[in-house]
Amino acid sequence: MKCPVCNSKGSDYQNIDQYNCLICNECSHIYVDIQNAELLKGLYDYDFYDKYMQVGYDQAYRLHFKEDFRKKVRLLKKYVKPGSSLLEIGCGPGYFSNLLQQAGYSVTGVELNSACKTYAKKHGIAFDNFICEDISVKDSPLNNIKYDAVISWATIEHIAKPIEFMSTLKRYAKKDGYIFIDTGITNNIIRGVDSGYSKWLQPPHHLHVFSVDSLVRVGVLNKLSPVVFYKWFNSNGLIDKVIRLSKIFVRVVLNLALHKKKEGFIAVVGLIIFRK
């Protein structure tokens, strides 16, 4: 299977359970060789959000996402003023969309699985419009609607065809509108010091680990202009990075022999902003 981003040849990267994973020789994109679409069915059932990260999505939000989402709201305010129309694609139960509405934005959230809407109602998460349909199709309920900004957090790595997914995000953005996206990324340094495969590679849910090159390409191939790329968005400054990397380095050295074919320790989030 060729790279889903640049269509170049890939080399073997890792075998995880029944999934063969490759790394692109051109753009260093890591991807899962999915030959059987049946493997991807039923992944996000009604229990998915309750089981999320083994602690449930509500607890995961409080422990892991709440401060990250607040940081992203502050970032978004630098580019899009409150009162603007926002579309979040892959909103999950809607915690971020809820924060956006509280910040004064007009928000529409989209999630394929109707279980997330049930979960949101159960946990009192509310915002303007919650749609559980495939908006990539021609008869989408959002057809002909354009938004000041389109947002998608930690979703593109779940999608088999990332270029087509980015095309959908672009389709709903106004001219000169912004597209905000984040996902797991890797680079040669991380792969060199961290034993095992990328922590972001979790088939059948996570099908991609982007490089800076491959994530930029997904936008550029859709004729989007990169505005800024935060290569380590999930870290709070240089000191935090040094402390985290020092701890990881010690763990890598101590566990090198045992973890060569297991999940690595470093999980880096890259956040990129495009403009249409």
**33 part of a folded domain:** no
Q: What is the pLDDT of residue 57?
A: 74
d(CA 207, CA 209): 7
pLDDT of 46: 64
In sign, the C-alpha dihedral spanning 255, 233, 169, 108 is positive
In a domain, 227, yes or no: yes
Domain interval for residue 265: 44-275
What is the CATH classification number for the domain harbouring 82? 3.40.50.150
Reported as a single tens digit per residue, the pLDDT across 216-251 is 999 999 999 999 999 888 776 677 767 767 777 776
Burial of residue 91 (CB within 10 Å: 0-12, 13-18, 19+) is buried
Residue 38 confidence (pLDDT) above 60: no
Which among 141, 142, 162, 179 has a CA at the least distance from the CA of 214? 162
Specify if 262 maps to a domain: yes
**pLDDT grade, residue 40 (50/70/90)?**
low
Whether the pLDDT of residue 172 is over 80: the answer is yes
| 26 in any annotated domain | no
**Residue the block writes with tokens 């449930």:** 56
Tally the domains of the chain: 1
**Is residue 153, in this structure, part of any structural domain at all?**
yes
What pTM was computed for the model? 0.89
Q: Which amino acid is at 262?
A: K
Residue 17 lies in a domain: no
**Predicted local confidence at residue 35, as pLDDT:** 66
Flag whether 100 is in a domain.
Answer: yes
Each residue's pLDDT tens digit, 176-188: 999 999 999 998 8
8 domain-assigned: no
